[in-house]
Amino acid sequence: MNWEELFCVEMAPMPAVVVIFGATGDLAQRKLFPALRNLHDRKLFNEQSTIIACGRREYSDESFRTLLGGDSDFLQHVHYCRGDNSEDDIYLKLAAMLKAAADKSTDYPCNTLFYLALSSPDMLIVCRKLAEHGLLQESVADPAWKHVIFEKPFGRDLATAAGLNDKLHELLKEEQIYRIDHYLGKETVQNILMLRFANMIFEPLWRAEYIEKVEITVAEELGVERRGNYYDHSGALRDMFQNHMLQLLALTAMEVPSSFDADAVRDEKTKLLRSIRPFDRRTLDQYWVRGQYADYCREPDVAPDSKTETYVAAKLFIDNWRWRDVPFFLRSGKRLGRKKSEIAITFKSIPHSIFPNIAAGDLPGNVLVLQIFPQEGMKLALQAKKPGAKLCIGTMQLEFDYSSLGKNPADDAYERLLLDALLGDPSLFIRSDFILESWKLLSPVLSTWESSDEKPILYAPGSNGPAAADKLTAPAAWRQLELD
């Protein structure tokens, strides 16, 4: 066995029962069942495992399998449990189905993974009911675990997030709670830690002495579409910054963990959030810009006088030895010129040029781009000799993308995260302290914007966002969305 195989932790899980609440909803039908099917097809779903789909609609096992369609081998694992989430009847049925499934697992303990593909109020109702019926209780005598996956949002602010955590901790241990952020399942996002901590070429340079700035972009072409009611009560800061953007920032800037253990990694991510320079309400405009695309207020289910932001840009500083005075620029928005997600690390220019007629400042710094969407991969801009007889210098790209590997195409993020959950590995799931620190960090921004009479700056759909965001990066400019 070579060294690459020693760290390859992808393996088939032990037998488990996967219980999906909200099984007829969009998330389950579009993401969860296809991901489970793919795991089954790749032999990463134990043949003694069972999937129980819970919903209110009238389905039998056979009619629900027909709804899913496709391969019958996978469908034989799927069973339907009908009922109202607020009534005891569905939990009595579920308890009987869980016992029957556990009895089928003769060689190993049968774990239980609950996936709550529901709104926040419904998640709490289901959790309480599961606890009342003893379906969340773990036993020292039984090595099987019981874990629950929760979808965002994890609160609306610090107070509601803390309250939600307290309510969950009355019913579950923190180790049983798996808060999911699908961004953490993407190949390039997972690769950040490998890139930083498995390559001596990068880690010694990953600091203020060598890095000029870091840009994190998550741009979307679409507007709010059919999510107007949800989005108008959330906005870009809650919808994107509090979770996806801060997770990307933490992975990019965190210190080296003591090991690859889940809690060691998550400890460092939370420490990083605590190191971000706090925001002063009096100078907030120097570090934050909020925008709203034109005609947002005409979208269905959006208030005609809405002050909800659809674009946010920020300039952050991390007050520790590694990142002293390095600006981190973050931006995310809807109805922008291109759907694109990336992390761009710009290194400082050389201190002295030996090349005739070229000053050190004329040579651009190297740029390492971790591409998340549309392609997943990375590229490194280097200054090198241009091909030809003349001695000319120019920028060249070293790059690769995961799709070019062919043999192991990049998995869907939910596929990766579901496999980790089935393996009982919480590394890519969010711990409660990170949630609270993220809300604590953003609270001054939220309260200032919500108490202000000013509306967000309008920007044209298909643009790069409001021009006012350019002042954050001045005298330099944001990376253009059109750049590959």
Q: What is the pLDDT of residues 117-175, one digit of tens each?
A: 998 889 999 999 999 999 999 988 788 899 999 998 899 999 999 999 999 999 999 99
What does the pLDDT read at residue 449? 96
Say if residue 327 is preceded by a cis peptide, omega within 30 of 0.
no
- Per-residue pLDDT at 483 exceeds 70: no
**58: CATH:** 3.40.50.720
Q: Is 241 helix (H, G, I), strand (E, B) or coil?
A: helix
**Do 378 and 188 touch, CB atoms closer than 8 A?**
yes
Within a domain: 157:
no
Co-location of 216 and 82 in the same domain: no
Q: Distances from the Cα of 260 to the Cαs of 11, 412, 435, in angstroms?
A: 17, 23, 21
**Do 191 and 369 touch, CB atoms closer than 8 A?**
no
Percent of the chain with pLDDT over 70: 95
Residues composing the chain = 484
Co-location of 123 and 224 in the same domain: no
Q: Is 7 helix (H, G, I), strand (E, B) or coil?
A: coil
**214: CATH:** 3.30.360.10
Domain span at residue 349 reads 184-415+431-473
**Do 149 and 115 touch, CB atoms closer than 8 A?**
yes
Average pLDDT of every residue of the chain: 91
- Per-residue pLDDT at 408 exceeds 90: no
Co-location of 27 and 70 in the same domain: yes
First to last CA, the chain: 38
**Residue 429, amino acid:** F
Co-location of 59 and 193 in the same domain: no
Kindly list the catalytic residues: 244
Give the model confidence (pLDDT) of 229-277 as tens digits.
Answer: 999 999 999 999 999 999 999 999 999 999 999 999 999 999 999 999 9
The pLDDT of 391-404, averaged and rounded, is 84
What Rg, from alpha-carbon coordinates, does the chain have? Answer: 24
Within a domain: 73:
yes
Co-location of 366 and 442 in the same domain: yes
- Per-residue pLDDT at 10 exceeds 70: no
Rounded distance, CA 205 to CA 163, Å?
A: 41
Co-location of 297 and 406 in the same domain: yes
CA neighbor of 333 nearest in space, from 371, 296, 301: 296
Long-range contacts of the stretch 298-304 (C-beta < 8 A, 24+): 299/223, 299/224, 299/228, 300/226, 300/228, 301/228, 301/229, 301/232, 302/224, 302/228, 302/231, 302/232, 303/232
- Per-residue pLDDT at 407 exceeds 50: no
Co-location of 235 and 371 in the same domain: yes
pLDDT band for position 478 (cuts 50, 70, 90): confident
Co-location of 190 and 70 in the same domain: no
H-helix or E-strand spanning residue 79? strand 78-82
Say if residue 153 is preceded by a cis peptide, omega within 30 of 0.
yes
Co-location of 328 and 200 in the same domain: yes
Rounded distance, CA 77 to CA 20, Å?
A: 13
pLDDT band for position 5 (cuts 50, 70, 90): low
Task: State phi, psi for 119 to the nearest 5 degrees.
Answer: -70, 160
Within a domain: 422:
no
Rounded distance, CA 64 to CA 45, Å?
A: 20
Task: Give Cβ neighbours of residue 424 (< 8 Å, ≥ 6 apart).
Answer: 13, 111, 145, 147
DSSP string spanning 329-394?
A: EEEEESSBSS-EEEEEEEEPPPS---STT--GGGSPPPEEEEEEESS-EEEEEEEEEPSSSS--EE
Co-location of 292 and 440 in the same domain: yes
Q: How many domains does the chain have?
A: 2
DSSP string spanning 94-135?
A: HHHHHHHHHHH--SS--EEEEEE-S-HHHHHHHHHHHHHTTS
Rounded distance, CA 171 to CA 137, Å?
A: 9
